[in-house]
């Protein structure tokens, strides 16, 4: 049975996820870089997402969800072979299906934002061609295998029992560790640690964070694949976790620094959204607020203390927010899914066992994505070179790479 309400919700959810990319993520990142690099970041987010969408149709959807083994799918639906208006895929309710094209579009938007997230870690110094080459390689050899392992019915982590409702491992930890590897391999920006590399337009970042929050309702609640009670639970959890994270980040910042910042509050919202993503469909609202608050506090630690310890110029804190908060959310999913804590787990739900399974998923994601990212950046370095030259970086990538300027002097 195909329900028109479910189909309409999937269309809306896909549009909301695209809203997260352009303009949401693009503006969030764009406001955080210096004025001479904003267009380069907007361009990279847009073109990387577009590349991922085209590759998704070419072979990505097939390798992620069509047959195969426990690690990767097959090529049976490359270029969407055999898919048409009457094709359907099953949802989580027995006997209920949705059009396969709607599912393909929704999952394609996930792949697109995952690739675009990495851009923030290497902003203001990476060659445009190298970014595109890396994105194609990482999409193929990191994103697709992990999406298959976690979400395909025959995937290794799916069969192991790992819980990842909307992409804590597949999207956020995956992109976070790839960004960290990229930050190490490109090296720090000129002046990092010596010059002031401040965001040039925080109102743009605020707008971007707000659009991310709005779009995240489609990201999380859309992952229910139906307009039903599970979607409502994911919707409410997305709302409350982000709010709790804003308060937590702001409170920690006020205690440790004497004042709460707008950038901190906006980053807190994103941190809470990342943390609740794997748990949104299986935890109660109380658990969601705890996870959000933990995500906000962990995100503050990730972009401050951890970043100093790692000594990596992760330009826009991709690992500090998406990597760290994704890990926190994935672990706590194994805790708050327990029915005794308000979750939707079975009566015999075992927290210790589930946390162990969650940690296995985290470990596999960190190791595999990190390895693939390293090799992909190495290939891009040898074929195209990773970093612009000194003069181009000083001038800014807007002019040197794209021949444009965002602001008239």
Two tokens, residue 283:
């935890």
The arithmetic mean of pLDDT across residues 92-106, rounded, is: 97
| DSSP secondary structure letter of residue 280 | T
CA distances from 374 to 39, 112, 145, 354 (A): 26, 20, 16, 30
Burial of residue 349 (CB within 10 Å: 0-12, 13-18, 19+) is middle
What is the model's pLDDT at position 1?
Answer: 84
Q: How crowded is residue 5: how many other Cβ atoms within 10 Å of its Cβ?
A: 10
Going by DSSP bridges, is the β-strand pair 88-90/97-99 parallel, antiparallel, or unpaired? antiparallel
Q: In what helix (H) or strand (E) does residue 254 lie, and over which residues does it extend?
A: helix 229-257
- Give the other-Cβ count within 10 Å of 348's Cβ: 6
Q: Which helix (H) or strand (E) holds 337?
A: none
> Quick one: angle between helices 38-55 and 100-118, nearest 10?
140
Q: Read off the pLDDT of each residue in 393-401 and give the average, rounded to a whole number.
A: 97
Return the CA Rg of the chain. Answer: 20
Neighbours of 221 (CB within 10 A): 28
C-alpha pair distances (Å), 199 with each of 33, 127, 210, 277 = 5, 21, 17, 27
Q: Which residues contact 336 (CB under 8 A, 6 or more apart)?
A: 279, 283, 284, 287, 288, 290, 291, 342, 343
The DSSP-derived string for 356-378 is: HHHHHHHHHHHHHHHHHHHHHHH
> What is the pLDDT, as a whole number, of residue 270?
98
Whether residue 82 is preceded by a cis peptide bond, meaning omega within 30 degrees of 0, is no
pLDDT value at 409 more than 80 = no
Model confidence band, residue 408 (pLDDT cutoffs 50, 70, 90): confident
Average pLDDT, the chain: 97
pLDDT at 197: 94
* Percent of the chain residues past pLDDT 90, beyond the cut: 99
How far, in Å, CA of 375 to CA of 139, rounded? 13
Catalogue all structural domains in the chain, each as residue range(s) with its CATH number: 4-402 (1.10.3430.10)
Segment 189-224, tens digit of pLDDT: 999 989 989 999 999 999 999 999 999 999 999 999
Q: Please classify residue 327 by burial: count the beta carbons closer than 10 Å to its beta carbon, then call 0-12 exposed, 13-18 middle and 19+ buried.
A: buried
Measuring CA to CA, which residue among 207, 325, 341 is closest to residue 266? 207
Phi-psi region of 396 (alpha: psi -120 to 50; beta: other; left: phi over 0): left
> Is 319 in contact with 302 (CB distance < 8 Å)?
yes
Could you report the per-residue pLDDT of 360-376, keeping only the tens digit for each? Answer: 999 999 999 999 999 99
Q: What is the chain's length?
A: 409
Query: Looking at the DSSP assignment, which residues form a beta bridge with residue 90?
Result: 97
Provide φ and ψ at 371, rounded to 5°: -65, -50
Residue range 254-273, pLDDT digits in tens: 999 999 999 999 999 999 99
- The encoded tokens of residue 291 equal 């996870």
What are 350's strand-pairing partners? Answer: none
């Amino acid at each position: 049975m195909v329900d028109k309400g479910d189909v309409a919700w999937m269309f809306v959810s896909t549009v909301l996820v695209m809203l997260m990319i352009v303009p949401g993520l693009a503006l969030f990142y764009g406001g955080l870089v210096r004025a001479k690099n904003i267009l380069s970041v907007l361009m990279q987010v847009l073109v990387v997402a577009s590349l991922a969408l085209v590759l998704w149709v070419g072979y990505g959807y097939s390798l992620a969800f069509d047959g195969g083994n426990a690690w990767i799918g097959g090529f049976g639906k490359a270029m969407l072979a055999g898919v048409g208006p009457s094709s359907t895929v099953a949802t989580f309710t027995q006997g209920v299906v949705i059009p396969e094209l709607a599912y393909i579009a929704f999952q394609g938007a996930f792949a697109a934002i995952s690739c675009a997230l990495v851009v923030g870690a290497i902003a203001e110094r990476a060659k445009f061609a190298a970014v595109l080459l890396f994105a194609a390689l990482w999409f193929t050899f990191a994103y697709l295998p992990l999406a298959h392992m976690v979400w395909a019915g025959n995937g290794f982590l799916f069969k192991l029992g790992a819980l990842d409702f909307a992409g804590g491992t597949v999207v956020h930890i995956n992109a976070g560790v790839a960004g960290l590897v990229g930050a190490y391999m490109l090296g720090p920006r000129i002046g990092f640690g010596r010059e002031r590399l401040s965001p040039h337009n925080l109102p743009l970042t605020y707008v971007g964070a707000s659009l991310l929050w709005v779009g995240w309702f489609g990201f999380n609640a859309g992952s229910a694949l139906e307009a039903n009670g599970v979607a409502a639970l994911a919707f409410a959890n997305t709302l409350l976790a982000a709010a709790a994270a804003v308060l937590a980040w702001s409170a920690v910042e006020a205690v440790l620094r004497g004042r709460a910042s707008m950038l901190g509050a906006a980053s807190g919202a994103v941190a809470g959204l990342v943390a609740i993503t794997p748990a949104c469909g299986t935890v109660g609202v109380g658990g969601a607020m705890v996870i959000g608050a933990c995500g906000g506090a962990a995100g503050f630690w990730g972009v401050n203390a951890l970043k100093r310890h790692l000594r990596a110029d992760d330009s826009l804190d991709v690992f500090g927010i998406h990597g760290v908060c994704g890990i926190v959310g994935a672990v706590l999913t194994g805790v708050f899914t327990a029915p005794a804590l308000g979750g939707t787990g079975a009566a015999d739900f075992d927290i210790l066992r589930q946390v162990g399974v969650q940690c296995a998923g985290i470990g596999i994601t960190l190791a595999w994505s990190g390895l693939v990212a390293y090799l992909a950046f190495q290939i891009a370095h040898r074929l195209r070179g990773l970093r612009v030259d000194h003069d181009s970086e000083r001038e800014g990538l807007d002019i040197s790479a794209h021949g444009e300027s965002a602001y008239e002097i």
